Each structure stands twice: as structure tokens, then as C-alpha cells.
Structure 1
């Protein structure tokens, strides 16, 4: 082989090795959008997953509104949990009987009403996923929460939860 050809091959090899060092590593964690579902008569005024904020949710509703983002591992692993924090309005339709909006009476009624909001925090296991996708948070009776984070969504057969949209609070909740 000629010296020129050897140099070209050597430079090609060195260049190829140098470029391999420029390839960014695959991420271990990603930010996933957050969506919520209230399966109870309470409104969820606000919630978060690992401090990433989710949308507010009306009673017996959810889906369709997403906020960004919850940091989760790209690959699911046993024992994976998230911290869910939320504020709940147990009587979301009370304002129908309040004085007119913008009045002192309205402000006083709101202040009394907001004092009845409850705040909760739970460490929740994340359902197994093959591919990280949308983080779905289900608010259930007795301040229970279920979380999925896969590339599927409620209503599909491969979705890990099949809760009815309307669930009633029992007369007494089990102690957690």
C-alpha cells in the first residue's frame, strides 16, 4: 500500500473514533406531559407530579388538558414511584348560591369556601410501561391516587387502569 493510502485510512479511522465521542448519550430521564382525571364529585384545583404541575380538573372528568412536565425514567423499573400533591375542593358548585361576583359578599363567601379546601400528598407507584409517554393521574375516592406513564391512554385495552368515570365516596374510608 502506498503511504498516501495508509495516511488516508489512518485519518479516516481517527476521525471516525473522534466523532463517536461527539454522539450525545441517550437520556436516562425525560419530561413527560401530565394529564389528570377526577373520578369523584370533588374538583382538583391543582396538582403536581414530582413537582411538575398538572391541570385543574372538574368533578367526574379529566383528560384533554395537559401541562408540562414530570421527570421520569425512560425505562420503567420495579419500585418506581412519584410524589403526587394536590388541592381538592370538596364542594365545587357552592358558588351557585353566593352573592354577585365582585362584591364584598362574594369575597367573604369565597374566603369561607376556600378554607374548606384540603391538601394531600401521596407517594404513588407508577404502573409498568414499555415506552414513556403521557403521565395520567387518577384521583379516586378516599384520597387514593393511581398513576400511569406509558404510551397508551384510558379506554384502550392495554391501559393499566379501568376505573369508572363516576365513583362514589364510601361512608367511611379505610385508614391509610
Structure 2
């Protein structure tokens, strides 16, 4: 009896997958996986971030994967959530001690979470190279799908790294 239930579940799953894949068969709806990359332009640390629910580790590496349309279309948005450690180089007691644990409790109380929704800029054809999220001062975000790396004259994001927070942020 257990075997027949398993067969029914597998047939249902295959049927569901077949219908799902057929539903995405038009060229305008085709999706592909890509990397999410963080570029931190601030002096704080980006502990983690997520884009449209795809979670990645913080400010300077890349993680797999995000699913995006193969062809750009108007209205594509990136909902980004992230956590910042404003003082990542604070001196701490030795690791593993009670003093360190107390320090970390107080230190983590200063972590701040933010979110933003930004437009995903247009790319042509299938030239998207994943999504790069640039963390700027004043909790501002820019994203790009450019294949050009940060620092290249062809990269659309020109803000420098290691930017200090201004005394007052514009809204």
C-alpha cells in the first residue's frame, strides 16, 4: 500500500511540474538563475541581505542564486532587506569568554535592519550577469545587472567605496 501512495504522489508531482513548466514556456516568461553580489560602499558591515526573498551573506561576496526573467520587462523590482553592523571593528574581549558573550549582546543591540524596493534596470537580450546590490550611505541602494565589474568605466555605479555617513541624510 505504501508503494502505491508513493507512485500516486510522484505522478502528481510530475503532472504539477509539467503544467508549471508549460505555463512558463513563452519567451517573455522564461526565467534563469543568476548570482547575487553585494558591493558595500559604506564603513559599516553588511551582515546579510536578501533580494526578493533570496538570502545572501553580506557586503562584498556573491551567493547563488536569484531567479530572474531572461528578458527584461518594465516594472521589475528588487525588494531588498539587509542588516548593518555600524561598528564592525569594535574592540572586543577574547572569544569564548563570558565577557565576550556580554559584549556581543550589547554590540548586536546596535545592529540595524533596513529594507528598500528599487527598480531593476533594463538589460538587453540575455546580457544580464546576475544582480549586484550596491549598499550606499544613508541606507540607499542601487542595483545593476551589468556584466562589468565595479571600478570598470563601463559599470553604471560610480560611487566610491569606504564612504562616510554624512551628518544629515537627505530623504
For each residue in 1:39-68, what CA deviation from the matched residue of structure 2 results, as whole angstroms up to 9, or x when unmatched? 1110000001111122222xxxx2xx3201
Runs of at least 5 residues in structure 1 that lack an aligned partner in the other structure: 1-23
Q: What is the match of residue 20 of structure 2? A: none
Shift of 1:106: 0.5
**1:73 and 2:75 equivalent?**
no
**Pairing partner for 2:130 from 106, 113, 134:** 134
Q: What is the match of residue 56 of structure 2? A: 54
Q: What is the match of residue 20 of structure 1? A: none
Shift of 1:78: 2.7
**1:170 and 2:166 equivalent?**
yes
d(CA) in 2 for partners of 1:99, 1:141: 29
Task: Tell me if the contact between 1:39 and 1:139 (Cα under 8 Å) persists in the aligned partners.
Answer: yes
Distance 1:158 1:77, change over 3 A: farther
For each residue in 1:18-44, what CA deviation from the matched residue of structure 2 results, as whole angstroms up to 9, or x when unmatched? xxxxxx945622221011011111000
Q: What is the match of residue 145 of structure 2? A: 149
Task: Tell me if the contact between 1:89 and 1:117 (Cα under 8 Å) persists in the aligned partners.
Answer: yes
Alignment TM-score, normalising by the size of structure 1: 0.75
- Rg bigger for which structure? 1
For each residue in 1:147-174, what CA deviation from the matched residue of structure 2 results, as whole angstroms up to 9, or x when unmatched? 0123332223332211111222110112
User: What is the root-mean-square deviation in Å for CA atoms of aligned residues?
Assistant: 1.9
Runs of at least 5 residues in structure 2 that lack an aligned partner in the other structure: 1-23
Paired residue total: 145
Secondary structure at the counterpart of residue 72 of structure 1: strand
